């Protein structure tokens, strides 16, 4: 590879007039340090049971190419950025834990990337597991669509949640480019569950189409039939939605993609399905999933 030295990653990554779609075909890897505040409070209403929730991004951009992904509308560049100063992330996490010693806190990894899918390059998850192993009041969620689970096989931690993003195969085949199919992800989930890992199921986004409820009903039945309920830590779901600026950028990239126009409504703070449609999704998912897990394990992520 050709190596180029720069002063700040932003001078390359944030340049205007870059084409995200073209760069996605052959992205470069940018190694950088991240400064300042490395952790952020999760939006209100987003969480999996704990009072305090933080997310962090040790990497920007994802190896997968999901058509609905918000990253393509958030950033100018599709290049990968890996922040190599992992110890600084861990130090800030440690400060928060010491600040709230009596609170159980969830830290979400994989907000701007898929941590597990990138592990063979970054090694971040292996370091994070060692760090979190002895933290009593901290919980690490690893959000992923990857079947690369080798780092988790011999490094089980009691306070870890492996959270798999899942959609019906007919949606995944069309909109989740490069993502392993549902059966492969399910095999990975079952293998981790058998090792004692807590499993999170993330049905987000729920996408509305002609026979959506029948499709998701069959899908939920298939998923919960194969994963033991005792292994399921939490289930979250939400409809397709974007901040307005991100939505405008994505539409410029895909001006003919029906996904971004069908049933979408521009609101004050975000673009997404209508309130009536979101209520319909919420009612359906609650009724359908309550057949398989207790209600207290189910959380919904909707914009107000």
Judge contact between 142 and 109, C-beta under 8 A. Answer: yes
For the whole model, what pTM was predicted?
0.95
Rounded percentage of the chain residues whose pLDDT exceeds 70: 99
pLDDT exceeds cutoff 80 at 71 = yes
The yes-or-no verdict on residue 304 having pLDDT over 60 is no
The residue assigned the tokens 């830290």 is 107
Tell me what pLDDT residue 269 has: 87
Residue 7, exposed/middle/buried by CB under 10 A (0-12, 13-18, 19+)? exposed
Encode pLDDT of 221-243 as tens digits: 999 999 999 999 999 999 999 99
89-103, 187-201, 256-270: segment of lowest average pLDDT: 256-270
- pLDDT at residue 132 tops 90: yes
Residue 178 CA to residue 120 CA, distance in Å, equals 16
Name the burial class of residue 238, with classes exposed (0-12), middle (13-18) and buried (19+) by CB atoms within 10 angstroms of its CB: buried
Task: Summarize the confidence of residues 42-64 as an average pLDDT.
Answer: 91
pLDDT of residue 1: 81
Q: What is the DSSP string of the chain?
A: ------S-THHHHT-SS--HHHHHHS--EEEE---S--EEEPPTT--SS-SEEEEE-SEES-SSEETT-THHHH-S--SEEEE--HHHHHHHHHHHHHHSTTS-EEEEE-SSS-TTTTHHHH-HHHHHHHHHTT-TTEEEEEEE-----HHHHS---TTEEEEEE---HHHHHHHEETPPPHHHHHHHHHHHHHTT-EEEEEEEEE---TTHHHHHHHHHHHHHHHS-GGGEEEEEEEE-EEEHHHHHHHHHH-TT-GGGTTT-EE-SSEEES-HHHHHHHHHHHHHHHTTTS-GGGEEE----
Cβ–Cβ under 8 Å, residues 192 and 264: no
């Amino acid at each position: 590879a050709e190596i180029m030295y720069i002063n700040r990653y932003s001078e390359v990554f944030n340049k205007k007039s870059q084409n995200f779609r073209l760069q996605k075909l052959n992205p470069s890897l940018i190694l950088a340090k991240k400064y300042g505040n490395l952790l952020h409070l999760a939006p209100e209403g987003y969480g999996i049971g704990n009072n305090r929730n933080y997310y962090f991004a040790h990497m920007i951009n994802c190896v997968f190419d999901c058509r609905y992904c918000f990253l393509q509308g958030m950033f100018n560049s599709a290049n990968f950025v890996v922040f190599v100063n992992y110890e600084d992330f861990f130090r800030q996490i440690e400060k928060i834990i010491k600040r709230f010693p009596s609170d159980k806190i969830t830290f979400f990894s994989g907000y701007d990337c898929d941590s597990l899918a990138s592990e063979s390059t970054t090694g971040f998850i292996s370091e994070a597991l060692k760090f979190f192993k002895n933290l009593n009041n901290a919980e690490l969620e690893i959000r992923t669509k990857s079947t690369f689970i080798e780092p988790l096989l011999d490094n089980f931690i009691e306070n870890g949640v492996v959270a798999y993003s899942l959609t019906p195969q007919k949606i995944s085949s069309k909109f989740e480019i490069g993502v392993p199919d549902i059966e492969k992800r399910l095999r990975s989930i079952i293998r981790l569950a058998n090792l004692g890992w807590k499993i999170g199921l993330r049905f987000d986004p729920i996408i509305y189409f002609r026979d959506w409820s029948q499709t998701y009903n069959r899908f939920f039945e298939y998923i919960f039939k194969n994963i033991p309920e005792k292994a399921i830590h939490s289930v979250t779901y939400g409809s397709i939605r974007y901040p307005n600026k991100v939505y405008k950028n994505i539409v410029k990239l895909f001006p003919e993609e029906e996904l971004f126009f069908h049933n979408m409504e521009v609101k004050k703070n975000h673009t997404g399905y209508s309130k009536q449609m979101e209520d319909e999704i919420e009612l359906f998912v609650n009724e359908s999933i309550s057949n398989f897990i207790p209600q207290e394990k189910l959380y919904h992520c909707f914009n107000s």
